[in-house]
A and B are shown apart, each in its own frame.
Chain A
């Protein structure tokens, strides 16, 4: 299988109160197309930063991030925004749905950036909500849904544009055990049935067990095990 994600010698540091804090040190990592990879590590190890670099919401200080032959680390902000809209589905720990929009409208949000007409958008949204099993909750607002349901809406929003890769930052971190199971099953299904490349950051070994492969990060370095 060819590598869809190539991270080459990537370093990243943050400046806090004039102190430079190194977060990632010369990371090199390849992820194959259709792979389900889990990134684990202690808090502050740099796993979310690596996920952000892969998702194109942050840029490395040095090195390259190449996704499907596009070096996204070299794109400017507006090109990167366009790239994200077309290629990445992001699932957050705290769902991050827009509270004033219904489940349907939240899922439709990324499609507003496409040229699809209303009928086409409706078809896409209904399909996405059907996949996550919430077609009957389309008109509900986030506050009318449970945490697990909110996360399923967030997953529907992530897949509605049919992205190349799906990234999840602690997607089960805020859920009870049953809801977490449902979400992991759903992500497994997206990987197996819809051939999506899935990358998650997690603290939960049980969640990591669902992945094909687990990589560990400690103090900004990729390590074999913790």
Chain B
């Protein structure tokens, strides 16, 4: 018989209690994993940001446009590799609940600046040639069963009217951190219609995306761009793509903080549950520990037994929780509308955190029972009536 066998047998002494504890830990790990995944999903845009991309927007607010004429001026700044732009189009596809980003972009350059959107050369060339064509993400194509050549009708809201686009490309996300729910069409197509129907709104773009050759010079180039348009009617604010994304998250930081906090509260609660189980177990075994001490088992042996049992239960719970977490997150990803959390993946860091938490729960929960077992004198242990 090995000590591990004794740990195993001790763990299963009260099968129902151990089962419920393991169940509690596994549910906690699943809840922890989901919350962490949501937080990760929230940060997905920030994490996917490219270091060599800057965003130039209107200094007052993102919702105000910038003149198209800025494009050439920005492109002429030393260190700027390529400039493209995008414009938030929005509109209603099918109904108002079907939300996904719909952008009017500079067709010639947009995909060059976003290499994470993988489009075949043929599809890209066709897209560039047809003014009323669009490219959609693979996730959107899958969700709405769209294929090349299909017509996509969008009812305009910011830009009124019925807008029809022919799908000429379906892009695949380069990796799991890339959003596969975008829809991009020609800004020229939008602008031509605006010139005709509401000329006052024509000639504007939403924001510029600038690829720079040296990311270390991002601050310098940003300052240079903003200085260029200082005291104009549309002053700019240029920042790295990461900072730009973080600016979006700032408004929801309280929710994210609450979720982070909740995920660790769950760990704390389950620590108390396992701690309680271990305290009960150690209390019931007070006489047995006294017997073991009498037989010559030392403090380190008792520490090994109690810690081993606690870690065994917590890791078993953690393992079961982790085993369930993958399909649960996958299920969540299916149920949650893609456009709400375009990237909803179980990140390795979440798995590592869940496993570490289970281990930590096991260790911390054993501290008090160990302390009690070691402090109790053998003679007091024999007198103990549990």
Contacts and interface: CB of A to CB of B under 8 A. Distances in A.
Contact of B291 (A77, A78, A92, A104): A92
Contact of A96 (B10, B287, B297, B379): B287
Nearest to A154: B291
B295 interface: yes
A101 B9 contact: yes
How big is chain B's contact interface, by range? 20 to 34
Interface stretch (A52-60, A66-74, A217-225): A52-60
Interface string A61-85: 0000000000000000110011011
Given A100-B13, A112-B3, A81 B288 contact: no
Nearest to B288: A98
Interface in B277-305: 287-288, 291-299, 301
A24 to B, nearest CB: 13
Contacts of B293: 57, 81
B215 to A, nearest CB: 60
Given A92-B291, A96-B291, A81 B1 contact: no
A58 B378 contact: yes
Nearest to A82: B296
Interface string B355-385: 0000000000000000000000111001000
Given A58-B377, A92-B291, A100-B10, A108 B296 contact: no
A52 B296 contact: no
Contacts of A27: none
Of the listed residues A81, A82, A96, A157, the one surrounded by the most CB atoms of chain B closer than 10 A to its CB is A81
Nearest to B11: A100
B379 A78 contact: no
A104 B5 CA distance: 13
B291 A98 contact: yes
B6 interface: yes
Contacts of A157: 295
How big is chain A's contact interface, by range? 20 to 34
Given A98-B291, A101-B1, A57 B379 contact: yes
Contact of A110 (B3, B6, B12, B296): B296
Contacts of A36: none
Contacts of B298: 77-78, 81-82
B295 A90 contact: yes
A35 interface: no
B305 to A, nearest CB: 11
Nearest to A167: B294
A112 B9 contact: no
A168 to B, nearest CB: 13
Interface string A15-41: 000000000000000000000000000
B9 A58 contact: no
Contacts of B292: 109
Contacts of A90: 294-295
A77 B301 CA distance: 13
B296 A96 contact: no
Given A57-B378, A58-B378, A100-B9, A78 B294 contact: no
Contacts of B297: 81, 85, 113
A39 B196 CA distance: 115
Nearest to B381: A57
Interface in B1-24: 1-3, 5-6, 9-10, 12-13
Contacts of B2: 112
B379 A85 contact: no
A55 B379 CA distance: 11
Contacts of A105: 1, 5
Contacts of A85: 295-297
Nearest to B292: A109
B374 to A, nearest CB: 10
Interface in A104-124: 104-105, 108-110, 112-113
B373 to A, nearest CB: 13
Nearest to A121: B1
Contacts of A112: 1-3
Interface of B: 1-3, 5-6, 9-10, 12-13, 287-288, 291-299, 301, 377-379, 382
Interface of A: 49, 52, 55, 57-58, 77-78, 81-82, 84-86, 90, 92, 96, 98-101, 104-105, 108-110, 112-113, 157
16 contacts: A55-B294, A58-B377, A78-B298, A84-B296, A90-B294, A90-B295, A92-B382, A96-B291, A98-B288, A98-B291, A101-B1, A104-B1, A108-B1, A109-B1, A109-B292, A113-B295
Given A52-B378, A81-B298, 12 more contacts: A57-B378, A58-B378, A77-B298, A78-B299, A81-B296, A82-B296, A82-B298, A84-B295, A96-B288, A100-B12, A108-B1, A113-B297
Q: Which 10 residue pairs spanning A and B have beta carbons closest together? A: A85-B296, A100-B9, A57-B378, A81-B298, A96-B291, A105-B1, A84-B296, A110-B295, A90-B294, A58-B379
